[in-house]
Amino acid sequence: MIVLDRVDKHYGSGAEACTVFQGLSLHLPSDRRLAVLGAAGCGKSTFIRLLAGLEEPSTGSIERHARVSFPVGYGRGLKYHLSARQNLAYAARIYGADVDEVVGFVEGIVGLGDAFDAPLRGLGGQQLASVRFAMAYAIPFDTYLFDNFIAAGTAEFREKCIAMFEARAAECGIIMAVRDLRTARRFCDAALVLDNGGGTLFDTLDEGIRFLAARERRLTLPDAA
Amino acid sequence: MGAEAGHSLRPATATPRTPVRTRGRNPLLAQWQVLSALVRRESESRHGRRFNFGFALGMLEPLIIIGAICLLFWLINHPPIYGSSMVLFVATGVFPVYLFIHTAGKVHEPLQSAHLGRYTLELPIDNVVAHATLHALSSAAVAIAFFCILYFIGERQASPYEPGRALAALLMIYALGVGMGLFNAVLGRVLPIWGLAWPALSRASVHFSAIYYVVDSLPPRIRGWFALNPILHAVNWFRTAFYPFYPTLTLNPGYLGWCVLATLTVGLCLERRFRPLLQSGA
């Protein structure tokens, strides 16, 4: 369970102030496959960053009664002068995971060979992406956060990512910001629709999608009456 | 599925063994895990480069300063200013002063925007604690090694006759450095010019901290102004641990203590108040 209590989030001040969330209070399930839906620019990514703790709410509080991951694929914690092995060991340590297990798993899955022990700054984009994604899947959390992407890298590695996703989703919760509904249908079974600084939870994905569609219809085709 | 031989695609602990789910829940344990991992990682790097024991490299600066001052006084054939050894006198001044300068710098470093990348569990303040801890360890190692070498090459006074007092003086100046570093980090973000001015100011302060003179031998009129400098009190306090009869007219550990308390409080409050700004990378 993740409890949001009257969360406000705004950026800037004065004339440039921009409010993303206002009085957002929710009890989010931490053990479902929850899709975070909403129109472009409604704050899906900000919402994931708030849940992850990468940003603090302007007011209000977020209580996590589960071990919540960083967004899968997040790479700003990496130190590029250190090797993949050192970075993974560090991440495993701070999240209280078994270092050998995490490092061994990622080493096997990314297939970097000797580059695994070279500084990250020498790695290519695909290789870095595979380290970032494999790292997130390798560390045990109760709830995994996603910001639009569940896979990256080569086609072969993307398949591995989906397999890792399914392995995790079988045991743990998923909260995923999704732009496109096909992805949501494939991977999620419940929905949170963000709209106008607030949010509505739906027990099934279809209800959420219908609600979203109704909202959008009302916006694009205002009632003649 | 492109599963490679010998590697299951199931993440390591997809089926968490019992301890995994409860591990990390204890906030103290989680804090300890973060701090110990940070100390371990940072000990392998310096200024964003990979360098084992690189954290000890900064210790060269005080050694060079000690060498330079001693060389100068030796060239002009000046007798030791106090006690029997010029090196010991200068070192008892340079070590506390540089402990202050470098600690402030080390604490400042992780709060600069270039180092903001972090995981969700670590806060900038954790990085501050890790850097400060590592710096304390490396400084202690270098200071102990330096005074031991001095002792064993024949300068018997290099072993403080009151080690407790020496330690207290160093701890105070270290805490002053931590507080000043936090203060600088925030001020440097709000007022970028401060980030340029501080290193120059702090190094200029070396000359006002009685490294190569005895402050009590200055005219009383000037001494009053010098006494405002808390670093000077720490230097004098540190020296009284080595020289039993060192003049202590300009020594007030209480004043130093209040300065430490004030900078630490202001530094920590500023860090908390401006945490969103410090994390924003702006």
* B17: pLDDT strictly greater than 70: no
pLDDT attached to residue B6: 41
Q: Are residues A187 and A122 in the same domain?
A: no
* A138: pLDDT strictly greater than 90: yes
Percentage of chain B modeled with pLDDT above 90: 23
Q: How far is the alpha carbon of B195 from chain A, nearest alpha carbon, in Å?
A: 24
| 3-class SS letters over A30-84 | CCCEEEEECCCCCCHHHHHHHHHCCCCCCEEEEEECCCEEEECCCCCCCCCCCEH
Q: What is the pLDDT of residues B247-282, one digit of tens each?
A: 888 888 999 999 999 999 999 999 888 877 777 654
pLDDT attached to residue B247: 86
Which of A13-17, A188-192, B157-161, B176-180 comes out lowest in average pLDDT?
A: A13-17
Q: Are residues A203 and A183 in the same domain?
A: yes
Q: Are residues A96 and A146 in the same domain?
A: yes
* A185: pLDDT strictly greater than 80: yes
* A36: pLDDT strictly greater than 80: yes
Give the chain B residue nearest A89 (alpha carbons): B37
Q: Are residues A103 and A188 in the same domain?
A: no
CB contact under 8 A, A94 and B50: no
Q: Are residues A134 and A81 in the same domain?
A: yes
**Which residue type occupies A33?**
R
pLDDT attached to residue B1: 39
Number of domains in chain A: 2
CB contact under 8 A, A140 and B14: yes
Question: How large is the greatest C-alpha to C-alpha distance in chain A, in angstroms?
Answer: 69
> What average pLDDT does the segment B124-137 reach?
86
Please check whether residue B231 is in contact with residue B239, taking contact to mean a CB–CB distance below 8 angstroms: no
Which of A14-23, A83-92, A215-224 comes out lowest in average pLDDT?
A: A215-224
Which of B20-34, B71-85, B107-121, B122-136 comes out lowest in average pLDDT?
A: B20-34
Chain B CB within 8 Å of residue A2 CB:
no
Exposure string (b/e) for A137-167, b if CB count within 10 Å is 16 or more? bbbbbbbbbbbbbbbbbeeebbebbbbbbeb
pLDDT attached to residue B80: 83
d(CA B73, CA B85): 12
CB contact under 8 A, B20 and A168: no
pLDDT attached to residue B259: 94
Residue B54's pLDDT band (boundaries 50, 70, 90)?
Answer: low
- Nearest partner of A46 among A35, A57, A32, judged by Cα: A57
> What average pLDDT does the segment A4-17 reach?
82
> What average pLDDT does the segment A45-73 reach?
89
Residue A153's pLDDT band (boundaries 50, 70, 90)?
Answer: confident
Statement: the pTM of the whole predicted model exceeds 0.80: no
CB contact under 8 A, A119 and B50: yes
CB contact under 8 A, B11 and A94: no
CB contact under 8 A, A171 and B45: no
Residue B192: burial class (beta carbons within 10 Å; 0-12, 13-18, 19+)? exposed
Q: Are residues A134 and A149 in the same domain?
A: yes
Is A225 within a domain? no
Give the chain A residue nearest B126 (alpha carbons): A94
d(CA A100, CA B31): 21
Nearest to A95 among B10, B16, B121 (CB): B121
Q: How far is the alpha carbon of B42 from chain A, nearest alpha carbon, in Å?
A: 10
Residue with tokens 């992850």: A52
Q: What is the pLDDT of residues B152-200, one digit of tens each?
A: 988 888 888 888 999 999 999 999 999 999 998 888 888 888 888 888 8
CB contact under 8 A, B11 and A163: no
Q: Are residues A165 and A183 in the same domain?
A: no
Please check whether residue B13 is in contact with residue A105, taking contact to mean a CB–CB distance below 8 angstroms: no
* B13: pLDDT strictly greater than 60: no
Residue A225's pLDDT band (boundaries 50, 70, 90)?
Answer: very low
pLDDT attached to residue A223: 56
Report residue B244 CA to chain centroid gap: 27
More confident residue, A173 or B108: A173
Is A192 within a domain? yes
CB contact under 8 A, B10 and A94: no
CATH number for the domain that contains residue A183? 3.40.50.300
Q: Tokens representing B234?
A: 């720490």
* A71: pLDDT strictly greater than 90: yes
Contacts of A82 in chain B (CB under 8 A): 41, 44-45, 50
Rounded CA Rg of chain A: 19
Q: Could you tell me the residue ranges of all domains in chain B?
A: 53-280
Is A201 within a domain? yes
Rounded CA Rg of chain B: 23
pLDDT attached to residue B3: 39
pLDDT, mean over chain B: 81
* A130: pLDDT strictly greater than 90: yes
Among A14-23, B80-89, B217-226, B235-244, top mean pLDDT goes to B235-244
pLDDT attached to residue B22: 39
Q: Are residues A87 and A25 in the same domain?
A: no
Q: In this structure, what are the phi and psi dihedrals at residue A217, rounded to the nearest 5 degrees?
A: -65, -45
Q: Tokens representing B62?
A: 């005080």
Mutate to test the interface with A, among B8, B28, B119, B274 (most CBs of A within 10 A): B119
Domain holding A33, by residue range, is 2-67+178-220
Contacts of A59 in chain B (CB under 8 A): none
* B105: pLDDT strictly greater than 80: yes
Q: In this structure, what are the phi and psi dihedrals at residue A83, rounded to the nearest 5 degrees?
A: -80, 165
More confident residue, B220 or B238: B238
